[in-house]
């Protein structure tokens, strides 16, 4: 970078420079004055176990062709989103600005607080609960979490399974929490107790 030329901001209006922006209409305002203190890791693949297509983007932007695969009939009309998706190859997509409330956790509770969407950021990993994730996804996830924690008071990272036990199973036993913790360098208090 030449002297006198400022660095490009890493965040702009809740959007991260390291992600490809794919704006979703599925979001709303956060409660007034609500800090973002929780990151929730999810897993997603559409159809289940199929990777590399544009179906996740289409689901989160309400443009999925429900007739393109029999599985899609089970989720027809679903309007959901996440702040970020990390593809198997490590590419990061962003669908909702972090200052906004994405529709990712659904009915949820963490440490006695309901409606985790109000105060969390959702990060989807392209993958299937119970299966392993790609090696390229872990360092990217750790980097994104560091970037988020530098901008917002992220105190903890947990899985969807932790905030919606019995209802959700992702990211599941195939996700290596200890590997993520080593990459983050965060203490036990910032990760789920069962990992």
Residue 194: the pLDDT is 78
124 is a catalytic site residue: yes
- Using CA atoms, how far apart are residues 4 and 20, in angstroms rounded to an integer? 27
Residue 9: the pLDDT is 82
- Which pTM was predicted? 0.95
Residue 98: the pLDDT is 98
Q: Which residues contact 152 (CB under 8 A, 6 or more apart)?
A: 35, 36, 37, 98, 121
Asked if residues 43 and 128 have their Cβ atoms less than 8 Å apart, the reply is yes
* Helices (H), ranges, 27-165: 55-60, 137-151, 160-163
Catalytic member of 34, 73, 124, 129: 124
- Using CA atoms, how far apart are residues 171 and 99, in angstroms rounded to an integer? 24
The domain 15-44+81-186 belongs to what CATH superfamily?
Peptidoglycan recognition protein-like (3.40.80.10)
How many CA atoms lie less than 13 Å away from 143 in the CB half-sphere? 14
DSSP codes of every residue in 28-66: EEPPTT----EEEEEEE-SSTT--SSSHHHHHHTT---T
- Using CA atoms, how far apart are residues 137 and 176, in angstroms rounded to an integer? 11
Q: Where are the domains of the chain?
A: 15-44+81-186
One digit per residue, the tens of pLDDT, for the chain of length 195 reads: 445 555 668 999 999 999 999 999 999 999 999 999 999 999 999 999 999 999 999 999 999 999 999 999 999 999 999 999 999 999 999 999 999 999 999 999 999 999 999 999 999 999 999 899 999 999 999 999 999 999 999 999 999 999 999 999 999 999 999 999 999 999 999 999 877
């Amino acid at each position: 970078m030449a002297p006198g030329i400022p660095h490009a901001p890493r965040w702009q209006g809740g959007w991260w420079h390291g992600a490809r922006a794919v704006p979703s209409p599925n979001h709303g305002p956060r409660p007034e004055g609500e800090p973002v203190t929780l990151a929730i890791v999810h897993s997603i693949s559409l159809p289940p176990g199929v990777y590399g297509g544009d179906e996740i983007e289409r689901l989160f932007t309400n443009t999925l062709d429900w007739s393109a695969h029999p599985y899609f009939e089970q989720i027809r009309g679903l309007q959901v989103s996440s702040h970020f998706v990390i593809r198997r190859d490590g590419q990061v997509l962003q669908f909702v600005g972090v200052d906004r409330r994405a529709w990712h956790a659904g009915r949820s509770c963490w440490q006695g607080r309901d409606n985790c969407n109000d105060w969390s950021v959702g990060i989807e990993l392209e993958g299937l609960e119970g299966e392993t994730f790609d090696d390229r996804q872990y360092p990217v996830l750790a980097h994104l979490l560091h970037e988020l924690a530098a901008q917002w008071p992220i105190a903890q990272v947990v899985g969807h399974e932790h905030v919606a036990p019995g209802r959700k199973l992702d990211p599941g036993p195939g996700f290596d929490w200890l590997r993520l913790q080593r990459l983050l360098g965060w203490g036990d208090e910032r990760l789920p107790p069962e990992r």
